[in-house]
C-alpha cells in the first residue's frame, strides 16, 4: 500500500499533464501566501496567485483544465484544498498537515513551507481519487484486518469477517482478492455508493464495521457466538494507507 501511495504521489503532481490551456491558481491566507508560493515552486507547480478563490461551474464532461489550490489554517493545522473549476463545488481534494515546532524562530518559515508542501501533495492525491470515483460512478474502500495472535477458530472468523464486509456493499469494478502479508489481511474494493454516503467514506465505513461486527446478535457480521467474542475488537481509520483497520487483542 505505501509503495502504491508513493507512486500515486509522483503522478498526482503532474496536474496539467499535456492538456493545452491548463491553468493552476493559488489562493492563500495572507500570512501563508509566501510559504505557499515557495512550496508550489518546490513542487514545480506554475501557479498564478489569485486574491480570492475562483468559483467552480460544473460541466457535463469535466476536463480539469482549470485547477485551484486554497491554503488556509484551521484548528492549528495547515489545510489545503484542490478544486477543478469545471466540477461541482462539493468535489475537491483536501489535506491537513501540522506545522512542526522548531527551536528557533528563524526556522519557522521553513517548517510552515514544509507543512504546506506536504498538504499540497496529499490534496492532489485526494483530488485525483475523488475525480476518478466521480467519473466512474463508484468509490473504493480498503479493509485491513490484523491477524497476529489469532489461531484456530478466531483466525477463520476474522477471514470470514472480511468477506462479510464485502457482502454489505454493492460491489462494482474489477474482481479483487484479499492479500495476506506481515500479519495483515487486506483488500480494497470498488462499490456503488448510496446517496447518503458522506464525503469521508473511511470514517463512515469504520462506523459501519463497528455496527456490523459489534452491533449485537442481529448484526450482519456479528462476533457474538464466534471465537472472536473472547477477544477485544478495535476498529480505526488508517488515513496513511486509506484503510479501515480492524485489530484483535486477546
Pair (129, 144) in one structural domain: no
Pair (57, 168) in one structural domain: no
What is the span of the domain harbouring residue 94?
2-135
Q: Which of 135, 162, 190 is a domain's end point?
A: 135
Pair (191, 217) in one structural domain: yes
Pair (37, 128) in one structural domain: yes
Pair (24, 113) in one structural domain: yes
Pair (116, 208) in one structural domain: no
Pair (90, 164) in one structural domain: no
Q: What is the reported pLDDT for 7?
A: 35
Query: Which residues lie below 8 Å from residue 243, measured CB to CB, with a gap of 6+?
Result: 1, 142, 143, 144, 186, 188, 202, 237
- Give 176-224 pLDDT, tens digit per residue: 999 999 999 999 999 998 878 888 899 999 999 999 999 999 999 999 9
Q: Retrieve residue 4's grid coordinates.
A: 502504491
Say whether pLDDT at 125 is over 50.
Answer: yes
Pair (114, 166) in one structural domain: no
3-state helix, strand, coil in the chain (%, to 5): 35, 25, 40
Say whether pLDDT at 124 is over 60.
Answer: yes
- Give 137-158 pLDDT, tens digit per residue: 899 999 999 999 899 999 999 9
What residues does 249 pair with on adjacent strands? 232
Please report which helix (H) or strand (E) contains residue 1, including its range. Answer: none
For 5, other C-beta atoms within 10 Å of its C-beta total: 14
Pair (83, 195) in one structural domain: no
Pair (99, 38) in one structural domain: yes
For 47, other C-beta atoms within 10 Å of its C-beta total: 22
Say whether pLDDT at 4 is over 50.
Answer: no
- Give 64-81 pLDDT, tens digit per residue: 889 999 999 998 899 999
Pair (144, 129) in one structural domain: no
- The total domain count for the chain is 2
Q: Which of 113, 135, 157 is a domain's end point?
A: 135
Pair (197, 107) in one structural domain: no
For 230, other C-beta atoms within 10 Å of its C-beta total: 11
Q: Which of 71, 106, 135 is a domain's end point?
A: 135
**Gyration radius (Cα) of the chain, Å:** 21
For 94, other C-beta atoms within 10 Å of its C-beta total: 18
Structural contact between residues 162 and 178, judged by C-beta atoms closer than 8 angstroms: yes
Amino acid at each position: 500500500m505505501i509503495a502504491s501511495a508513493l507512486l500515486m504521489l509522483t503522478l498526482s503532481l503532474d496536474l496539467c499533464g499535456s492538456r493545452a490551456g491548463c491553468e493552476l491558481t493559488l489562493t492563500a491566507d495572507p500570512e501563508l501566501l509566501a510559504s505557499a508560493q515557495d512550496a508550489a515552486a518546490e513542487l514545480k507547480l506554475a501557479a498564478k496567485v489569485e486574491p480570492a478563490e475562483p468559483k467552480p461551474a460544473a460541466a457535463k464532461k469535466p476536463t480539469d483544465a482549470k485547477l485551484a489550490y486554497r491554503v488556509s489554517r484551521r484548528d492549528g493545522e495547515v489545510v489545503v484544498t484542490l478544486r477543478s473549476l469545471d466540477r461541482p463545488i462539493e468535489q475537491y481534494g483536501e489535506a491537513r498537515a501540522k506545522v512542526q515546532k522548531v527551536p528557533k524562530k528563524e526556522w519557522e518559515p521553513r517548517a510552515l513551507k514544509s507543512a504546506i508542501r506536504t498538504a499540497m501533495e496529499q490534496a492532489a492525491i485526494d483530488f485525483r481519487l475523488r475525480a476518478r470515483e466521480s467519473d466512474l460512478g463508484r468509490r473504493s474502500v480498503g479493509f485491513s484486518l490484523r491477524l497476529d495472535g489469532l489461531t484456530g477458530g478466531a483466525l477463520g472468523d476474522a477471514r470470514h469477517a472480511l468477506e462479510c464486509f464485502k457482502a454489505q456493499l454493492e460491489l462494482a469494478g474489477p474482481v479483487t482478492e484479499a492479500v495476506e502479508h506481515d500479519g495483515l489481511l487486506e483488500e480494497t474494493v470498488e462499490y456503488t455508493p448510496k446517496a447518503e454516503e458522506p464525503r469521508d467514506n473511511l470514517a463512515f465505513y469504520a462506523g459501519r464495521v463497528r455496527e456490523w461486527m459489534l452491533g449485537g446478535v442481529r448484526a450482519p457480521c456479528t462476533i457474538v457466538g464466534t471465537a472472536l467474542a473472547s477477544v477485544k475488537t478495535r476498529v480505526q481509520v488508517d488515513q496513511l494507507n486509506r484503510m479501515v483497520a480492524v485489530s484483535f487483542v486477546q
